Amino acid sequence: MTLDPTTQASAVDDPVVNAPLDLERAAVPVAPAGTGVVRLTDVWKQFPTRNGLFTAVKEVDLETTPGEFLTLLGPSGCGKTTTLRMIAGFETPTRGSITLDGADMLRLTPDKRPMSMVFQSYALFPHLNVFDNVAYGPKLQKSSGSELKDRVNEALASMGLTDFADRAPNQLSGGQQQRVALARAMVMRPKVLLFDEPLSNLDAKLRVQMRTEIRRIQQAMGITALYVTHDQDEAMSLSDRIVVMNKGRIDQVGRPEEIYRRPTTRFVADFIGSSNFMKAEVADVANGRARVTVLGQQRELPASELSADATSRVVLVRPESVQVSLADSKAGVGGDHGTITRAVFYGSNVEYVVKTEAGDIVAVVSDPDEDQILKVGDEVVVDFPQDRGWLLSADEA
């Protein structure tokens, strides 16, 4: 394949970028089994500011399992990037310990830690071509001659970059640059791969494509990955487990479906997906079940542990769990009755806002029949399947 090096290759039209990774053909370095356990114990980070100390990260306890893909998710300023940078060694914790497979990492400078990081800006060395960018780390590991060449070429091949070895970074598209950054980190055979929002500079389509590739390569290598993002779709699609951070703390750690279905705090519920929080009268909470009155009906719902002792509680129902049907008559004024105030057709689904005594409730109905679509002003009854409700504490942390 010949490409004019002066033109910026468009990522979308580029056959190389669009081809799936050929992991069978390219030998991918595989991490030794049972390694890559990163453990953070009571980690704090405080920065001095004009008005005293700012606490960016507090009380963070975390442990990965070998080969796990763990994502730190949260809004900007929640401490997720600071946490990752402390693991990489670019920031020093104010307190706490960070170990990798039992070895203290805090005594090591970043260059001595067996981890490689992929940066948001890719951070490719602009004065080196693609081959030399990838060869940079192995050369420092005293790799040379044909061994170095084989190693770099393997890494390039595994990312589909063989034809780009002689290019300068600024002659590559964003997606290609990201692949070089990944190859450069991979070739180090680190025990842990660190990702700092690596896809946020790519366009939406490429982002989706790159995240499946990152996941595949991580699984093929069997390597532990720590990934920082503020994008919940990215976190959901990539992770074995998600760590939701809020104001420097960990709010919840769990599998994607746990985080989505059974959030432990109102913040987590609000941050992941869209939510209806319904006022509820709680009769009692025990053993993870609660008896509550919500939308005018008494129901038995699953409940979070924290909700047992909370002073205020709400019921979470996701919009796609809300069922909306036309009311039989206008006479009904029960808690489950309401009026449609907004109806938006999105193609694959239709979104309603229903005004009820319990507040505005958002409902999403997928793939609706055209003649079944409700209109603004329709009187409706709202309901939800019993096990799709979730009682959680609404107390401020």
Partner 1 sequence: MSVATPPRGDAGAQAPASSARVKKSVDVPTIIVTTAVIAILALLIVYPLVRILVMAISPAGSAVVAKMFTSPVNQRIVLNTVILGTVVGAIGTLVGFLMAYVQVRVDVPGKKVLHLLSLLPVVSPPFAVATAVITLFGRRGMITHGLLGAETNIYGLTGLTLVMVLSFFPVAYMNFRGLLSSLDPALDEAAANLGANKWHTFKTVTLPMLVPGFASSFLLLFVESIADLANPLVIGGDFTVLASRIYIAITGEYDVPSGAAYSLVLLLPAMLVFLVQRYWVSRKSVVSVTGKPAGKPALLDTGARWPLYAASLLVVGLVALIYITVIAGAFTKILGINNQFTLDNFKYVLSGIGNESIKDTTILALIATPIAGLIGMLIAWLVVRKMKRGAAWLDFLGMLGLAVPGTVVGIGYAIAFNTPLIWQKRMFLPALGGGAAMLGGAIAIVMVYVIRSIPPGQQSGIAALKQIDPSIDEASASLGADSVTTFRTVTLPLIRSAFLTGLIYAFARSMTTLSPIIFITTPQTQIMTKQILSEVDAGRFGNAFAFCTLLLGIVLSVMGLLTLLVRDRRGAGRVSVGGGL
Residues at the site binding partner 1, with contacts judged by CB under 8 A: 42, 44, 46, 53, 58-63, 65, 88-90, 92-97, 106-112, 115-117, 119-127, 136-137, 140-141, 168-170, 174, 177, 181, 184-185, 188, 194, 196, 201, 241, 243, 249-253, 264, 397
Could you tell me if 271 and 245 are in contact, meaning their C-beta atoms sit under 8 angstroms apart?
Answer: no
Cα 217–chain centre separation: 17
Amino acid at 273: G
Query: Residue 202 or residue 282: which is nearer to partner 1 going by CB?
Result: 202
- Angle of helix 130-140 relative to helix 174-186, nearest 10 degrees, comes to 20
Shortest distance in whole angstroms from residue 231 CB to partner 1: 18
**Which phi and psi angles does 178 have, rounded to 5°?**
-65, -35
Shortest distance in whole angstroms from residue 170 CB to partner 1: 5
Query: Residue 36 or residue 89: which is nearer to partner 1 going by CB?
Result: 89
Query: Residue 254 or residue 319: which is nearer to partner 1 going by CB?
Result: 254
Shortest distance in whole angstroms from residue 97 CB to partner 1: 8
Shortest distance in whole angstroms from residue 68 CB to partner 1: 9
Query: Residue 7 or residue 366: which is nearer to partner 1 going by CB?
Result: 7
Q: How far apart are CA 106 and CA 88, in angstroms?
A: 10
CB-based burial of residue 236 (10 Å sphere; 0-12 exposed, 13-18 middle, 19+ buried)?
A: middle
Shortest distance in whole angstroms from residue 121 CB to partner 1: 4
Query: Residue 190 or residue 338: which is nearer to partner 1 going by CB?
Result: 190
Shortest distance in whole angstroms from residue 274 CB to partner 1: 24
Buried/exposed 39-59: b ≥16 CB within 10 Å, e otherwise = bbeebbbbeeeeeeeeebbbe
Q: How far apart are CA 344 and CA 334, in angstroms?
A: 26
Inter-CA distances, 137 with 121, 144, 189, Å: 18, 11, 10
**Residue 383 neighbours by CB distance under 10 Å:** 17
Query: Residue 89 or residue 389: which is nearer to partner 1 going by CB?
Result: 89
